[in-house]
Amino acid sequence: MKKLIETTGGLLVLVGVAGVIRELTGWFPFLGFTRFLTENVDFMEDHGLFTNIVIAVAGVAVVMAADACK
């Protein structure tokens, strides 16, 4: 179970960081998970960078929580 939580957190970090890079430079169009989210949710339309930062920080928090569990 711990490995599954760590993997999920790692994927969240990867998607968040790739989204930040995509928002700033235009690279990584294939990892633009939040691109679909921000295009379809009206109040997130102009907040793609912030959304990706929050996802990356949430991923780090999940990995840290998984390490704290025995």
**Which tokens hold the place of 3?**
């490995």
Q: What is the pTM of this model?
A: 0.83
Q: What distance in Å separates the CA atoms of residue 18 and residue 32, rounded to the nearest whole number? A: 7
Coil, strand, or helix at residue 45? coil
Q: What distance in Å separates the CA atoms of residue 52 and residue 44, rounded to the nearest whole number? A: 11
Coil, strand, or helix at residue 26? coil
15-58 tens-digit pLDDT: 899 888 888 887 767 766 777 766 777 777 778 889 889 999 99
1-16 tens-digit pLDDT: 889 999 999 999 998 9
Q: What distance in Å separates the CA atoms of residue 51 and residue 69, rounded to the nearest whole number? A: 27
